[in-house]
Amino acid sequence: MKSGTALTLELLKQKSDPAEIVVKLALRKALLGCKSVLDVGCGASPIMRQLGVSPLTGIEGYKPSVDQARKLNTHDEIIHGDARELDRHFRPKQFDACVALDVIEHLVKDDGIKLMRAMEKIAAKKAIFFTPSGFLPQRHAANDDLQEHLSGWEPSEMTGYGYNVTGLLGPKNLRGEYHAIKGRPRIWWGAVSLVGHFLQTRNHPEKAAAILCVKDLTGM
């Protein structure tokens, strides 16, 4: 069973969904000036490697995904560990940036805030989250796969925590679980989603399917 991140990125890679390149460009921009990166809840996703990040460390709680990531060499180092216990594995300001892609929504609120604070402590320059805009219901695919959504994070909430928030993946009503396009044909609704991103939801993240939240830590 794949991790939530791996499944999400697999869906975004569908030729009928142009959102992948937009997400990658937004992440690349967010990581400007950062070299060493901790990828929290990384699964076996190659997206950070594809962005040219090095050195790249991942931490993942689902053992099958850890094994797959090591086999695929998606990261320079992979640690099997709980994202809620980052302080046990890493020291303050150990990385330029800490990134959590489709992770925080899998935690209850208190644990999500704990994760946020830990990432802000471990990162020297930036803390970055990619998550659904608000609560997106999502179920387990297997009892132990960590894919159920336990919380939702509103753009205004993340702004209150000091993050700069951008909408991604177009209007939220066009997508369902794992950010997958709901309408058919996918190629048409994928194009509609992309147009909606540039015309509206990029600057109105409360209406977007997902949000990219970036906090600059250099002045703290």
For residues 47 and 39, the answer to whether their CB atoms sit within 8 Å is no
The pLDDT assigned to 137 comes to 87
Q: Which tokens hold the place of 133?
A: 């805009």
pLDDT tier at 18 (50, 70, 90 boundaries)?
A: confident
pLDDT tier at 11 (50, 70, 90 boundaries)?
A: very low
How would you classify the pairing of strands 56-60 and 37-40? parallel
Cα atoms found within 13 Å of the Cα of residue 34, Cβ hemisphere only: 33
The pLDDT assigned to 17 comes to 79
Of 115-129, 136-150, 198-212, the range with the lowest mean pLDDT is: 136-150
Q: Which tokens hold the place of 75?
A: 């990261």
For residues 119 and 92, the answer to whether their CB atoms sit within 8 Å is no
Mean per-residue pLDDT of the chain: 90
Beta bridge partners of 171: 208
pLDDT tens digits, 47-65: 999 999 999 999 999 899 9
Closest CA to 59 of 37, 83, 85: 83
Closest CA to 154 of 84, 102, 206, 193: 206
pLDDT at 205 over 50: yes
For residues 58 and 51, the answer to whether their CB atoms sit within 8 Å is no
Section 73-88 average pLDDT: 96
Instruction: Output the pTM of the full model.
Output: 0.91
Please state, in angstroms and rounded to a whole number, the distance separating the CA atoms of residues 131 and 47.
15
Element of type H or E holding 38 = strand 37-40
pLDDT tens digits, 103-131: 999 999 999 999 999 999 999 999 999 99
Section 143-163 average pLDDT: 89
The pLDDT assigned to 147 comes to 77
Higher pLDDT, 140 or 202: 202
The pLDDT assigned to 7 comes to 44
Longest dimension (CA), the chain: 48
The pLDDT assigned to 5 comes to 53
pLDDT at 4 over 50: no
Q: What angle do CA 37, 115, 43 make, to 5 degrees?
A: 55
Please state, in angstroms and rounded to a whole number, the distance separating the CA atoms of residues 20 and 179.
11
Question: Could you tell me the domains of the chain?
Answer: 4-216 (3.40.50.150)
The pLDDT assigned to 3 comes to 47
